[in-house]
Structure 1
Amino acid sequence: MTAKRLVTLVFLAWPGLAAAQDPGTPMSAINWLSDSLAEPPESTLGPVGEENASDGAEISEVLVEPLDDTEGPRADAIGLVPPHATGLPADLWGASDTATLARRITEERPDMLPALQSLVKQILLAELDPPEASGPDGQQLFLARVDKLLDMGAVEEAHALLDLAGAASPKIVRRWFDAALLLGQEDAVCDAMESAPDLSPTYPARVFCLARGGDWEGAVIVMANALALDEITENEDRLLSRFLDPDLFEDRPPPEPPRPLTPLTFRLFEAIGEPIPTNGLPAAFAQADLRSNIGWKARVEAGERLARYGAVTDNQLVGLYTEREPAASGGVWSRVRVVQALDAALETNDTETLATLLPDVWAELMAAEVEVPISRVYGPALAGLEIDGEAGRIAFHMGLLSERYEMTAMTGVAETPEDRFLAGVAQGNVADLTPPSAEARAVADGFNATGIPARFADLVEGDRLGEAILRAVTLLTNGARGNYDDVADGIALLRAVGLEDAARRTALEFLILERRG
């Protein structure tokens, strides 16, 4: 068999593999998604009629029947957490327009206060009824939820949602493929792309999946086919050729990484021994640095970055800090040292050491903006110790930033007007307290409000509760940077619709943390 015949057979085995793509069409709302699927070619077949039917052929009657719902749930209804576990009603979306909800989710800033990050993630992961006016394919809201999780670096959660959706559409599979690449779990989606007849992997994705599955010979054949048909770019050619046969390029410089960098390109550069640092890439890429084959320093830095987005657990971050003894000093190692010292001092209730240590701990945590995850781990124990002075105030604040904020307020010693106001916030009652600052006044206005703020009334009364909550999150995030009327209304809305825990946590973080810009 000639090489030309072999290439032709490989090409025919994957219909649509080399379908042309419009370079002017954006891949998705996320500009770094891999171009892993080819656009399906438009059919050139017209309707069957007398002009193209064979003479004497009998045309059978075509029967049309509606499809039932046995193929699975609509994508917009897929979730990981049942509503009762989140405190959200199943009909949270109500009468909201799907496109409006998708836009509001997309516009949420990932660098919001930790309490708001938790609330938004609860909403994104909840198993909720689709909006009453959702589109026919039931995917627009689902894709917006997945994209926001990826924007926040929550790749594992996004991947879990995409796993449930499966190979439902090219848009879903494209995200599934990239999330799997960042987590090093691409086998399932590679198999799905190969077995689903409606999906046409592009040459780079096909080559990667074949090689990842151990079929290097098949990958080389597909690569030869791509070159013969001029269906890959010059940069893709250089990168894939080096990936398939690195020995041929041992003395040559690596190709320049493209921008934006996709997860597939990121993994290919890693495979050729030229890993690209993730600190200049979107937060989702930092998840790749948490893998066990990555160096400790890179894993700690990735953990800190993801902690700022609420994309790692508190114990994950502490585990990274306490994994081993640091061999250097300065930078991230300063935080490693103080957290390890904090852990050791709490183990023995060494209040004398803690009184000296806590100011340094707080300064280091503030520098990395990881005060909340560390406070959630150590805050309750610190708040229960008798520590005086500045260290005592820090211990009190760390307790207020923990899950046991209300107990800390009830049992701790609040010596200043600021701390007495914080204790009132933690207990949900500031009516008899004088706000000690403009920020505290905004919180007090939110806590003392009655009913739904006017700017949310139409949304709540119009059965658009989820939309109202998303708008409140936006107001609180923007308001924390200076518009305190937005802070007041956002807190008031959360309390009025029963999200008391989120309202108190948000208020405490707004007052304690330095997040003003």
Structure 2
Amino acid sequence: MRNNLWATAFLGLCTGAALAGPDSPLSAIDWLSDSVIAPPSVQRPEPRVTPGAAPEDIAVTRLGAPNPDAVGLLSPAVSGLPRNLWGNTPTAELARLIGAEHARSLPALQDLLYTLLLAEIDPPADNAGDGELLVARLDKLLDMGALDQAQALVERAGPDTPTLFRRWFDISLLTGQEDRACAAMRTTPDIAPTFPARIFCLARGGAWDTAVLTLGTARALGFITEEEDTLLARFLDPDLFEGEPPLPAPTRPSPLVFRIREAIGEPLPTSLLPRAFARADLRPTAGWKTRIEASERLARTGALPASALMGVYTEREPAASGGIWDRVAAVQALDRAVMSGEAEAVTQALPTAWQQMEAAGLTQPLAQLYGPRLAPLPLSGPARELAIKAGLLSPDYETVAVRTDATLRFARGVAQGRPDPALAQTPMETAISEAFTTPDPGPANARRLKENRVGEAILNGIITLAEAAGGETSDVVLGLSTLRMAGLESTARRAALEILLTEARP
């Protein structure tokens, strides 16, 4: 049975390669493995009616099949978003906005974006049910390094097309579940693997002789590059290359290349690779320092929970000093102080821990875990203001704003949704006050909100805030106002507090 399946896959491979070519791109994520052959494009038939005889822009959907673009992990009751959020916005425009670069995005905006990517939302009016929006959502999750979320989403939809399977296969490679993906590839006749993926999976399944024979066939037919040939040859018979110098590092390694390089003892450092590769460094086999660095990188985009980051920080006592070890030691000292409940110990530990985490762009995880416990403590000196900052940056920001004293009065007003314009002392504070007292989303977003394109307006608001380079106050007014008028009051308050209280200016 297995041989028949592989024969089917081989025929599909030859046909697909002839039609699509070995370098046909499947995605803007150019580091994905060429693990499966793209299906040949289908030519649309000529219309049978004269122009104007039927209305234009008719959406075509597959009868009886679930729409992959409607798949999500968060129900409306959990996400708080209406099912008709996308409304009349064209699918292609939504895919473009989701894929936009959100440089230096605030944690509040990252959380909102995750909700949009994972929520169950009805497809827009023009949607054809071909998964275009799902692929855009998956690619953004991969870009942010959120492999666990992306894996859950694609498995909910079902990786039953080459485009979706390709992403699922690579996620599996980076999360250490490649055997599961290879088993699915072997038992899914509709998925035609490329030669490198087939050879890798044959070897992982113990069929080394068949893998060697397949490599020879691929070499003879010209279906693999010289670099792939060299790498796969070392993977299948490393003894033949004992004493040879290491292979040159590839400029854009795919997850498949990454895992094969690891298997032959020539691993690639992930620090210069796309963020998704950092997920591979969370495996227990990685060293502690490597796992700390990967955890920090993923925590900056919200791909790793704050509790998981702190769990890695506190695994053991640092055996060295300087650099990352000073940060680990400072966080551990704060953790011990907070656990003890002694105000004096916290007063001593908090400034150092905050300084270390702020320099690394990681104050948000610190505030999320410790903020609610720090704010009520009777601290003194710089630690007092830092504790209130941490509390206002935590999920309990409203409670902290009510219970704390007069410190940071303007920020406390923002947390309650009522900033006092008279307390604004900087142009940024004035802009934030404007967004809450006289909100103005601008004509473009006002029109989108009115025309049942709320999700489009929200995405534009996120981009406007994330791209407000150099503290552009007018963009801050537009972005915060858009979020508030779209019903996202809590997100707007959190974003405004992050602008005020952290070094992560938008």
Q: Does 1:496 align with 2:492?
A: no
- For the residues of structure 1 that align with 2:29 and 2:6, how far apart are their CA atoms? 32
1:271 and 2:240 matched: no
**CA distance 1:485–1:9, shift in 2 (3 Å):** closer
DSSP 3-state at the match of 1:241? helix
Is structure 2 residue 450 aligned with structure 1 residue 457?
A: no
User: What residue is the counterpart of 2:199 in the other structure?
Assistant: 207
Query: Secondary structure at the residue paired with 1:346?
Result: helix
Aligned residue number for residue 57 of structure 2 = none
Change (3 A) 1:13 1:402: closer
Q: CA deviation at 1:480?
A: 5.6
Match of 2:50 in 1: none
Could you tell me whether the CA contact under 8 Å between 1:110 and 1:117 is conserved in 2? no
Shift of 1:244: 1.2
| 1:162-203 CA distance string (max 9 Å, x none) | 112223321111111111111112233323332333321001
Q: Kindly report which structure 2 residues correspond to 1:60-99, keeping only aligned pairs within 5 A, or say none.
A: 69-71=63-65, 73-99=66-92
Q: Deviations over 1:13-41 (max 9, x none)?
A: 62132424436643311111111112457
1:122 matched to which residue of 2?
Answer: 115
Q: Distance in 1 between matches of 2:98 and 2:63?
A: 28
Secondary structure of the structure 2 residue equivalent to 1:384: coil
In structure 2, what residue type is equivalent to 1:196?
T
Three-state SS of the structure 2 residue aligned to 1:17 is helix
What does 1:307-322 align with in structure 2 at a 5 Å threshold? 307-322=299-314
Kindly report the root-mean-square deviation, in angstroms, between the aligned alpha carbons of the 2 structures. 2.2
Deviations 1:317-362 (A, max 9, x none): 0001001111111111111101100010111122222222222111
Matched with 1:16 is: 12
Q: Which secondary structure state, in structure 2, belongs to the residue aligned with residue 167 of structure 1?
A: coil
Deviations 1:234-283 (A, max 9, x none): 11111111111112212112222322111110011011111111010111
CA contact (8 A) 2:6 2:186 kept: no
C-alpha distance in structure 2 between counterparts of 1:237 and 1:253, whole Å: 16
Change (3 A) 1:89 1:174: same
- Aligned counterpart for 1:384 among listed residues 373, 376, 380: 376
Specify the alignment match of 2:95 in structure 1.
102
Amino acid at match of 2:114: K
1:220 alignment partner, SS class: helix
Whole-angstrom distance in 2 between the partners of 1:304 and 1:385: 28
For the pair 1:34 / 2:26, whether they are aligned, the reply is no
Are residue 334 (structure 1) and residue 339 (structure 2) matched?
no
One-letter code aligned to 2:183: D
1:479 partner SS: coil
Indicate which of 296, 299, 324 corresponds to 1:304. Answer: 296
Return the match for 2:468 from 457, 473, 479: 479
C-alpha contact 2:174 2:277 (8 A) present in aligned 1? yes
Q: TM-score, normalised by structure 2?
A: 0.91
CA–CA distance in 2 between the matches of 1:224 and 1:9?
A: 20
SS for the counterpart of 2:11 is coil
Superposed CA deviations along residues 387-412 of structure 1, whole A, max 9, x for unmatched, are 11211101110111111111111111
Q: State which of 340, 343, 352 in structure 2 corresponds to 1:351.
A: 343
Counterpart AA for 2:164 = I
TM-score by length of 1: 0.89
Distance 1:255 1:192, change over 3 A: same
CA deviation map 1:427-456 (0-9, x unaligned): 111146421211111110111125754331
| 2:127 corresponds to 1:134 | yes
8 Å Cα contact 2:9-2:192 kept in structure 1? no
Post-superposition offset of 1:11: 6.1
- Distance change (3 Å), C-alpha of 1:507 and 1:272: same
Quick one: structure 1 residues 227 and 480, their matched pair in 2 at CA, closer, same or farther if it must change by over 3 Å? closer
Give the conservation status (yes or no) of the 8 Å contact 1:110–1:151. Answer: no
Distance change in 2, residues 1:466/1:321 (3 Å): same
SS in 1 for 2:371: helix
In the aligned structure 2, how far is the partner of 1:311 from the partner of 1:42? Answer: 34
Whose radius of gyration is greater, 1 or 2?
Answer: 1
| Residue identity in the other structure for 2:30 | N
> In the alignment, residue 500 of structure 1 is paired with which amino acid?
E
Aligned pairs for 1:146-157 within 5 A: 146-157=138-149
Gaps of 5+ in 2: 43-59
CA distance in 2, matches of 1:84, 1:500: 17
Q: Which amino acid aligns with 2:492?
A: A
Residues 105 and 145 in structure 1, CA contact (< 8 A), matched pair in contact too: yes
Shift of 1:482: 2.3
Shift of the alpha carbon at 1:474?
0.6
Contact 1:16 1:41 in 2 (8 A): no
Point out where structure 1 has 5 or more consecutive residues left out of the alignment: 1-6, 44-65
**1:493 Cα deviation (Å)?**
1.6
- Identical amino acids, percent of aligned pairs: 49
